[in-house]
Amino acid sequence: KRSARLLLGLGIAMDESGRDDDALRLFNVFARRVKSSINMRVEALSRAGRIYLEKHKFAKASARLKLAYDIAKTHLEKGRLLILRADVYEGKKDIKTASVLMERAVRQIAMASGKNYDILSDAYEKLGRSYALLRQYIKAADAFSKALNFAGSEQKKANLGFLLGDAYQKGNIIMEAKKAFRQVAESYDSIWARLAQQRLNTLDLAQAVKKS
C-alpha cells in the first residue's frame, strides 16, 4: 500500500547500506508491479542488475539490464545500461560481445544532450581495453585517442596517453608509439611519465640493436 516513490526509496536505501538481498526483493517486486513511472522502473531494474552482477549471477543481471535498456528513454540512460551489460559479458569472459555492447554505448552517449565528457571518456577507455584484450590494437589505439580527447584531469590524460602508446607498440606502429610515450613523458609529472620514459628507452635500445 506504500507509494511507488517510497518503495523505490526504501530499495535504494537498502542497496546503499549493503542490504543487497532485501534491496533485490524490493526492486524485483517494484519492477513487476509498478508500470506508471518508466524512470523509476529503469532505476529499480538497473540497480537490481548491478547487484546481480556483483554477485556474479550473470543471467539474472543480463535480464534486468536488458529490460531496463528496452524501456529507457534517453540516450544517456541507454549508454549507461549498455556499459553495465558489457560488464556482465566481461564477467562471463565474452570480451567480443562486451566490445560490441561498448561500441553501442559510446554511440548512445555521444548522441546524448549536454556535455557528458567524463562518461564518454570512460566509455571510450573501456572500449579500448576490450579491443586490446581481443588484440585489435589499432582499434584500441583509436578508442584511447578518442578517450584522451574527452579526458578532463591531467592524471587521466597521462593514463590514457600511456595506454595509447602501449596499443601502438603492440600493434607494431613504433613511430606512433614513441610519439604517444614522448607526449606523456614530457607533459605530465606522474608515474605514467616515468613509465612512458622507460618505454621510450626500451624502444630506442631495440632500434639501436636492430641497426647494429
pLDDT tens-place string over residues 44-88: 999 999 999 999 999 999 999 999 999 999 999 999 999 999 999
Average pLDDT on 85-94 reads 96
Average pLDDT on 142-162 reads 93
Average pLDDT on 157-164 reads 94
Q: Is the pLDDT of residue 2 over 90?
A: no
Q: In percent, how much of the chain has pLDDT > 70?
A: 97
Average pLDDT on 111-138 reads 95
Residue 32's pLDDT band, with cuts at 50, 70 and 90, is: confident
What are residue 153's phi and psi, to 5 degrees? -80, 155
99: which residues sit within 8 A by CB, 6+ positions away? 86, 127, 130, 131, 134
Residue 95's pLDDT band, with cuts at 50, 70 and 90, is: very high
Q: Is the pLDDT of residue 11 over 60?
A: yes
- Set of cell numbers at residue 161: 596517453
Predicted TM-score (pTM) of the model is 0.87
Q: Is the pLDDT of residue 36 over 80?
A: no
Q: Is the pLDDT of residue 1 over 60?
A: no
